[in-house]
Amino acid sequence: MQMALDLARRALGRTSPNPMVGAVLVKDGQVIGRGYHARAGTPHAEIHALNEAGEQAVGATLYVTLEPCCHRGRTGPCTEAILDAGVKRVVAAMTDPNPLVAGRGLERLRQAGVEVTVGVMEEEARKLNEVFVKYITTRSPFVVLKAAMSLDGKIATRTGESRWITGPRARLAVHRLRDRYDAILVGVNTVLKDNPSLTTRIPGENGKDPVRVIVDSLARTPPDARVITQQSPAPTIVAVTERAPKENLCRLEEAGAQILVVPGPGPRVDLEVLMKELARREITSVLVEGGGEIHASFLGSRLVDKVIWFIAPLIIGGRQVPGPVGGDGPARLLEAVRLKDISFTRYGEDFCVEGYVDGGGED
Active site members? 46
Q: Binding site for Zn(2+), residues?
A: 44, 69, 78
> Which string of DSSP letters, residue by residue, matches 123-189?
HHHHHHTHHHHHHHHHSS-EEEEEEEEETTS-SS-TT---TTSS-HHHHHHHHHHHHHSSEEEEEHH
Q: Binding site for substrate, residues?
A: 162, 178, 198, 201, 289
Residue 172 class from Cβ within 10 Å (0-12 exposed, 13-18 middle, 19+ buried)? middle
Phi (first) and psi of residue 30, to 5 degrees: -120, 140
CA 23/CA 13 separation, integer angstroms: 18
Which 8-state DSSP code applies to residue 263?
P
Q: Binding site for NADP(+), residues?
A: 148, 164, 190, 194, 217, 291-297
Q: What is the CA radius of gyration of the chain?
A: 23
Antiparallel, parallel or unpaired: β 115-118 and 236-240 = unpaired
CA 363/CA 349 separation, integer angstroms: 32
Strand partners, 184: 212, 287
